Amino acid sequence: MKFDPQSIARRLASWFSRHARELPWRSNPDPYRVWISEIMLQQTQVATVIPYFERFIARFPDVRALAAAHLDDVLAQWSGLGYYRRARMLHACSREIIATHGGEFPGDYEAILDLPGIGRYTAGAIASIAFGQPRPVLDGNVERVLARLTALRADVKSAAAQKKLWFWATEVVEAAKSPSTVNQALMELGAMVCTPQNPGCKVCPLRATCAAKHAGIQEQLPVRRKAAASKAIRYAALILCDARGRVLLTRREKSGESLLPHGLWEFPHVVWPARKVSPLRELSAIAGVSITAVSEAAPVRHAIMNYRVELVALAAKTSGRVTKTRPPQQWFKPAELASLPMASATRKLFIAR
């Protein structure tokens, strides 16, 4: 079972020409669109990304528009996608492209790799897809395809396995007539045919040279060490309305105790380990406002990282017309919440109140 990069590249290109999905960022693969799509696609599935990509490009059509925007507007567009640091680095990166590359996305691989938020994978994707350069990509899809093709039995995340996988990815892209096509084909094959479960070996263009298929172990590969067990945690969150129906939100300056990242608006909340103990006094102290008429909503369950989070919304009112709260707190009309940078869990809480 010989690993023949030339043959693999040819078969991938042929297959891709017939089976590639039409995706928004494929219609016009200029560096800006490829960059935005690749950042969004980090650890995020295609179906999730598509509507975000369309909205983002409409709002920020080029590097200059993104660099001119406020970070809050970028975070608001990102709300619900997760990994919010991606949005911060995207924004910082746009400003660096203005400052050091005259607003033109750099085509030099080392220059791309130097940009914030762009690592080896994303640099390879941009260099190959937007600039046609023979740079390798290795993502979860390519890892799986190559691990099966070569019957790699080591943990794919180990240093030794990663070295081999990057080497094979390099061999394939360097044998390609079109690096853009072959890199996208590797990823597309992993997404559509060489899937984690029930791989479609019968329709795979590489089945004849797949060592895992030959040995009948394609379902056992790739080998990944199992994740740590998730932990349970419960929060009580205060959905506080003033006499005018405005709701109190707060925003932390830096990441700390909370699972939520900084920069996003959230409801005042505390860890609530024992339901016997009322969190109201503590919540009231955090909000800096006296509260009345509390009603408890049904818990919201939310999986985040390796936590299983139970969120309990405590809807409450505060008497009188509150005008002053200590920053970074602010009263918002409910209709304003849609345009604020906010995590999915926070929106769930408001809906559940």
Question: Quick count: other Cβ atoms within 10 Å of Cβ 37?
Answer: 24
Choose the catalytic residue: 38, 143, 171, 266.
38
Structure tokens at 211: 């060592």
Provide the b/e sequence for 134-172 (b: ≥16 CB within 10 Å).
bbbbbbbbbbbbbbbbbbbeeebeeeebeebbbebbbbb
Q: Which of 2, 18, 22, 45 binds DNA (CB under 7 A)?
A: 45
Q: What are phi and psi of 89, to 5 degrees?
A: -70, -35
311 close to 238: Cβ distance less than 8 angstroms: no
The radius of gyration computed from the CA coordinates of the chain, to the nearest angstrom, equals 24
Q: Which residues, numbered 58-87, are part of the site for DNA (CB under 7 A)?
A: 80-85
β 269-271/231-241 pair status = antiparallel
State the nearest-atom distance from the C-beta of 211 to DNA, in Å: 19
CB of 343 to DNA, least distance (A): 3
Q: How far is the CB of 290 from DNA (least distance, A)?
A: 30
Nearest to 238 by CA among 277, 280, 278, 271: 280
> Residue from 98, 111, 151, 191 that binds DNA (CB under 7 A)?
191
Which C-beta is closer to DNA: that of 19 or that of 224? 224
Report in angstroms how near the CB of residue 4 gets to DNA at its nearest. Answer: 24
Name residue 317's beta-bridge partners.
241, 292
As measured in angstroms, the least distance from the Cβ of 321 to DNA is 32
Site string for DNA, 318-347 (x = CB under 7 A): -------------------------xxx--
Pair type for strands 292-296 and 231-241: unpaired
Is residue 122 a contact residue for DNA (CB under 7 A)?
Answer: yes
CB of residue 241 vs DNA: minimum separation in angstroms?
23
Site for DNA in 252-271 (CB under 7 A): 255, 259-261
**218 near DNA, rule: CB under 7 A:** no
How many Å apart are CA 249 and CA 266, to the nearest integer? 6
Minimum separation from the CB atom of position 279 to DNA (A): 21
Choice from 198, 216, 292, 323 touching DNA (CB under 7 A): 198
The backbone torsions φ and ψ at residue 269, rounded to the nearest 5 degrees and listed phi first, read: -150, 155
- Alpha helix (H) residue ranges in the chain: 5-19, 31-40, 46-59, 63-68, 71-78, 85-101, 109-114, 120-129, 140-149, 159-174, 179-192, 211-215, 280-287, 344-352
Tell me the site size for DNA, rule CB under 7 A.
59
Rule CB under 7 A: is residue 290 a binding residue for DNA?
Answer: no
The answer to whether residue 123 forms part of the interface with DNA (CB under 7 A) is yes
- Our CB check for DNA shows the closer of 2 and 256 to be 256
Q: How far apart are the first and last CA of the chain?
A: 60
Is 119 a residue that touches DNA (CB under 7 A)? yes
Among 4, 7, 42, 299, which residue sits at the site for DNA (rule: CB under 7 A)? 42
Q: Which stretch binds DNA (CB under 7 A): 141-149, 207-215, 235-243, 266-274?
A: 141-149
The residue (of 168 and 322) whose beta carbon lies closer to DNA is 168
CA neighbours closer than 13 Å in the CB half-sphere of residue 14: 9
Contact between 12 and 186 under an 8 Å Cβ cutoff? The reply is yes
Number of Cβ within 10 Å of residue 65's Cβ equals 13
Query: Contact between 196 and DNA (CB under 7 A)?
Result: yes
Contact status: 1 vs DNA (CB under 7 A): no
Tally of CA atoms within 13 A in the half-sphere of 45 that contains its CB? 5
Window of 34-42, 65-73, 97-105, 165-173 that interacts with DNA by CB under 7 A? 34-42
Active site residue 266: no
Q: Which residues are part of the catalytic machinery?
A: 38
Binding site for DNA (CB under 7 A): 23, 25-26, 37-38, 41-48, 80-85, 89, 116-123, 125, 139-141, 143-144, 159, 184, 187-188, 190-191, 195-198, 224, 226-227, 230, 255, 259-261, 302-305, 343-345
